[in-house]
Amino acid sequence: MGIKKAESYVQSLLCHDASGHDYGHCIRVKNLALKIAESYDCDKNLVALASVLHDVDDEKVFGHVGHKHLVEFCRKNNLDAEYQNIIISIIDFLSLDLKDDTVSIETHIVQHADNLDALGAVGIARMFAFGGANGKVVYDGTSTDSFSHYYQRLEKLPNLMNTPFAKDVAKKRIKFMQNFMAQFKKETL
Ligand code: ADP
Ligand code: NI
């Protein structure tokens, strides 16, 4: 199944998203996933497809649509039901923020790639973009501002990663974010 078709579909669906789930995010996740996948004997086509398509039905973007867009894409491109269900199982796992050794290596790879794109300079940009798109203030010292998302979720993400490349990149990106958070706090005094 041509990854290019999936990329065009995602571009048409998410090119105007302003909440951090845009086409650029999907392409970065695909590239990170393929980089992680280099160290594994795994289904690289599945890794590429699932990572590029992982946000096409994201609840935060589209509301409760189930797997409407994914199913539409699979139908139009004659993907068989079994492959479609495998992609769905990978996507469903992403929203859980779970470490579960029983899921497939492809699932781990896409999860780690998606989470890596929530870290580093890109992660900071996405955190404030998401906050703005969802009516959150940048910083007011409460647990509902965009800033606090780093402590509530992002700093814990490296612990979910056990693929060596992802873990290494995650640690570097967290270090960068820690410096940013410290500098931000200094500037709010
Ligand atoms: P993904 O699985 O692609 O990271 P999410 O929907 O969980 O998707 O988040 C999209 C982006 O928005 C991520 O960069 C995430 O860190 C950020 N984000 C999610 N929830 C919040 C929040 N409550 N405040 C600030 N940023 C958030
Ligand atoms: Ni994502």
pLDDT in tens, 124-137: 999 999 999 999 99
CB distance 123 to ligand 1 below 6 Å = yes
Answer whether 67's CB lies under 8 Å from 88's CB.
Answer: yes
Q: Which residues of 145-166 are buried (b: 16+ CB within 10 A; e: fewer)?
A: ebbbbbeeebeebbebbebebb
Report whether pLDDT(1) > 70. Answer: no
pLDDT grade for 100, boundaries at 50, 70 and 90: confident
Q: Give the chain's largest Cα–Cα span.
A: 58
DSSP-based three-state secondary structure for 136: coil
Closest residue to atom 4 of ligand 1, CA basis: 118
Measured in angstroms, how far is the CA atom of residue 51 from the centroid of ligand 2? 8
| Cβ neighbours for 153, distance < 8 A, ≥ 6 positions apart | 97, 118
CB distance 111 to ligand 1 below 6 Å = no
